[in-house]
Structure 1
């Protein structure tokens, strides 16, 4: 029996956040989906989501795509909250509790849900790029009009996949922008 009695407003579907053991988010998702099916809760618990984003790491000119959890240790559940659905979710192996005040789960606001879906939706379309360069590092251009030139990194622009660095052209320091793929760290 749940420690509280909750009746959702007009049996409204809402998104709730549950806490899990770190690193067990996907296992909790699988366990919960299995419990929903075996306990016949499809009419009260609809979706279980572990928000992830794809990142591209560039190191020594090699790309590596990695999926990372947006909220490590948390899983999102779309459900109609009542005593029975609360019990099924709360007693799923790996679940440590709902996010909320005491034993009362607090649903995400519509704005929060839209922000999360916008973030993970956008991330699925275009992965973030991370590179092991920072301002002050020295790089050499591998290809393009400045091939062979070496310079000092001034700015890293991960959103565009670009690096701005300083090179000497015609005896003057000039800021040049190049793609991550065209550079080698020295």
Structure 2
């Protein structure tokens, strides 16, 4: 897992007006919390943070007034229309510490020939991993699967040091038979009403 370094500064102004001023400077207001410490309100560089958040569960190395801290994103708020970052909550982590995160599930391979659909029951798999070794994603082969087949959490091969944080019998992916819609047939009663 890659570590992204971000230069941050501590915020002393709070409220909507202060947050708007921060965003006008192409920066993002955020808060860092965890390990029983008091929350630290930060200003983060907008573009660099946006690029970093493209990687799921990215590990951020924050330079806060000359002190380096490690954090992972916990909650990200975006503008619903324009998509820009409005606020980010960061969780303080230490090297070697285990954290619970959700890892995206990627399916590879072709289903058996036929009219089948692959349903992602879980788009992300809850796992426990060391904060500095969180996998970016897990890949599952669905090659040759037919309707009725399902892949459970325990069937997914995880990297070493990563364990499931969900019931091992939880369904992650399942194959369904696609159903074609039948054209609506006009009944006799409807036809008579239309003529009248």
TM-score range, shorter chain: under 0.3
Higher helix share: 1
Higher strand share: 2
Higher relative contact order (CA 8 A, sep 6+): 1
